[in-house]
Amino acid sequence: MVKIIKSRILIFIISIGISFLLPVIYQDILGFILILSIGIIHGANDLLIIKKYTRKNNLYSQISYFLSYLGLVFLGFLFFYLFPSIALLSFVLVSIYHFGEQHWVANISNTNIVKIKKLYPIILHGLIFFVIVFMNNINIVNNVLLSFNTISLNYSSLRILLIILFLLYMIFLLSSKSMRGYFVGEFVFFILLFFLTLNSSLIYGFSIYFIFFHSLLSINDQVKYIYGDDSLGFIKKYLISALPYFILSILFLTGFYFFIDFESLNIIPIMFTFLAAITFPHVFVIEKMYSIMK
């Protein structure tokens, strides 16, 4: 646990230092590079995970899974088009659970905590993360909400909510014998996350959490599940399997950049809808994977 805390502190210190050195535009560029590389790769092998837990290797099954996956992505787009406010709220709620689960799954999967109590740290972690990000980037977040015809957030209300959630989280960790050992690590984690997002751009601050405290951990768990081992050889195999989907994603985003008229089109809701649509099926696949691993 001490080693994990030290590695987290080091990542945060380096990231905060970079946020002070780089102008916002370069922070965003670095953040986008991280998200469009490691971030895309961490979700590119969903079909391989589906193939693993269904144990169906024939061509017909693989095509069916691929089309079904694309169908879910299309439904995500349709959901946002028909019910933008509800879809946005659903996306945030799903992400809260997804991020919290990834953060805690390795820590509490083998403990004797009953299933319902495992939900508490998972949900509280995800909630605190999003409240911190929203609060420290309130103007940009409200612009996004405005694009979806959703009510704006209030900074003072978010600050009160953050204090309440953080206290509940810390009290829960201290009150649970099985979780008490994580108190210091979680306290330090969120304090440093707060200062990172306070002094960085939205994209950069989010990318640090998304890549170093979510995507890389998820890749490691996926490699273990797919191949039964997370040695370097299997990680290379995982990356090679993800490469075609990674290239397709980059080509799509490149085409999107060159063929869309940014001056006449509000790009924020379109990009957000795209990211949300591809996230929905990924979350369901990973949740299924973890349910089997547990």
| Contacts (Cβ under 8 Å, ≥6 apart) of 1 | 181, 182, 185
Q: How many domains does the chain have?
A: 1
Which has more pLDDT, 93 or 253? 93
**No. of H helices and E strands in the chain?**
14, 0
Question: pLDDT digits over 9-19, tens only?
Answer: 999 999 999 99
The pLDDT of 263-280, averaged and rounded, is 68
Q: Rounded CA gap, 199 and 70, in Å?
A: 38
What range defines the domain where residue 78 resides?
2-293
User: Confidence band (pLDDT; 50, 70, 90) for 114?
Assistant: very low
pTM, rounded to two decimals: 0.87
The pLDDT of 115-122, averaged and rounded, is 75
The pLDDT of 241-267, averaged and rounded, is 68
What pLDDT is attached to residue 268?
58
Whole-angstrom CA distances from 282 to 25, 29, 134 are 29, 25, 23
Give the DSSP letter of residue 152.
Answer: P
